[in-house]
Amino acid sequence: MRHTSPPAPPPVSEAAAPAEATRDTAAAPSRLPRATFRRAVRSAAWKRGPVLTGAALLLGLVMLLHGGIPNRAGSLGSLVETFLPWFGLLVPVLAAGALWRRSASAVLALVLPVTVWLSLFGGLLVDKSEPGGDLTVATHNVGAENPDPVGTARDLVASGVDVLALEEITEEDRGVYEKELAGAYPHHTVQGTVGLWSRLPLSDSRPVDIATDYGPLADTKPADVQLAGNRALRTTVATERGPLVVYVAHLGSVRLTPRSGFWTGSRDRNAQALGEVLAADRSERVMLLGDLNGTLDDRALAGITSRLRSAQDAAGDGFGFSWPARFPVARIDQILVRGVEPTGSWVLPATGSDHLPVAAGVSW
């Protein structure tokens, strides 16, 4: 018997190559451009917006290292610190630009200023007030140009506080305030342009030298002339819980001009002198009420803020801006304490002054 082999398969032509190989060959070029495109898009997102990225990082560094900005040229450091909370408004502006440019690097860079701003001011956004309090106080720069001192005095009486400090009292308006406040506040002292009115007895009231007059002619001024321009006082309030030493102060004005920049000479000199007075006062309970013409972030007030703490920071709700009255942008009117516990801090309604009154409650 003859052995026969199975028929050989027909030859496969090049045109009849397996379909699978054909599909793989066709798909490879299409997958390659898509992957490359995605990588290119991601790379471009990180490269876009270098200016926005730099601006975000610079903003964060300015807020983080504001204490290192020199004051030699026009008190630039103090100017930045005065309006430091407002730097946060640049964050949404930069964020909008980053989203519009689709810049991943700019979005990531914004983490720095957001984190720094929240660490500096986030605590102020929470209401920290507590019910109760042993004493309520208020301070108000009534304004030398106040067109309605009578109305201002009556508004302050309506606040119902126990102790009231006034700054920038003119000789012409002093009698008005003394008359209008007498019914609610039987005890008061006025030392030059500052005064304190109280429902509780006062003692040991006297002016405080904060270097308002300086230079070679300062000592030649008669005592009555020096007192007329005095801008700080010290007194003791007799409370049911014991004596409370109260300072009232109005530090020198600051000015922003193209030629000199942020001029703070008299304010800084007054702040240094007042800080030295506070450092020497060993009283157990001390309170400072007044217009300091500076925010507590300003390094020029460090001699004061290192010895007293802010009622607004401890027990307020928000920033408590007090100036200017029409559109407040800074809190330059302060209530600072030592040895008592703030229970609340708030801003009172506007009067005829260009400042808003601020008030606080404290307990022992």
In angstroms, the Cα distances linking 213 to 171, 208, 222, 354 are 19, 12, 12, 25
In sequence order, the 6+-apart residues with CB closer than 8 A to the CB of 237 are 163, 198, 200, 201, 202, 243, 244, 245, 246
In sequence order, the 6+-apart residues with CB closer than 8 A to the CB of 123 are 313
Instruction: Identify the three-state secondary structure at position 37.
Output: helix
Q: Please give the helix or strand (H or E) that residue 239 lies within, else none.
A: strand 232-239
Instruction: Identify the three-state secondary structure at position 270.
Output: helix
Other Cβ atoms within 10 Å of 13 Cβ, number = 7
The residue type at 361: G
Model confidence over 90-131: pLDDT tens digits?
999 999 999 999 999 999 999 999 999 999 999 999 999 998
Q: What is the Cα–Cα distance from 336 to 309, expressed in whole angstroms?
A: 5
In angstroms, the Cα distances linking 10 to 4, 7, 14, 16, 170 are 17, 9, 13, 12, 118
Contact between 335 and 112 under an 8 Å Cβ cutoff? The reply is: no
- How high is the pLDDT of residue 227? 80
Contact between 168 and 144 under an 8 Å Cβ cutoff? The reply is: yes
CATH of 126-363 among 3.40.50.300, 3.60.10.10, 3.30.70.20, 3.40.50.2300: 3.60.10.10
Model confidence over 190-203: pLDDT tens digits?
999 999 999 999 99
pTM of the model: 0.86
Strand 255-257 vs strand 261-263: parallel, antiparallel, or unpaired?
Answer: antiparallel
Residues facing residue 206 across a β-bridge: 234
- How high is the pLDDT of residue 123? 95
Per-residue pLDDT of the chain (364 residues; tens, 9 = 90+): 445 555 555 555 544 445 554 555 544 455 556 656 456 555 566 777 899 999 999 999 999 999 999 998 899 999 999 999 999 999 999 999 999 999 999 999 999 999 999 999 999 999 999 988 999 999 999 999 999 999 999 999 999 999 999 999 999 999 999 999 999 999 999 999 999 999 999 999 999 999 998 776 667 677 777 788 899 999 999 999 999 999 999 999 999 988 889 999 999 999 999 999 999 999 999 999 999 999 999 999 999 999 999 999 999 999 999 999 999 999 999 999 999 999 999 999 999 999 999 999 999 9
- How high is the pLDDT of residue 9? 56
- How high is the pLDDT of residue 34? 65
User: Domain map of the chain by residue range?
Assistant: 48-121, 126-363
- How high is the pLDDT of residue 44? 60
Instruction: Tell me the two tokens of residue 144.
Output: 């030398």
- How high is the pLDDT of residue 222? 73
Residues facing residue 302 across a β-bridge: none
Instruction: Identify the three-state secondary structure at position 34.
Output: helix
Instruction: Identify the three-state secondary structure at position 257.
Output: strand
**The CA-based dihedral angle spanning residues 36, 39, 40, 45, taken in that order and rounded to the nearest 10 degrees:** 160
Alpha carbon of residue 264 to chain centroid? 18
- How high is the pLDDT of residue 42? 56
Contact between 112 and 105 under an 8 Å Cβ cutoff? The reply is: no
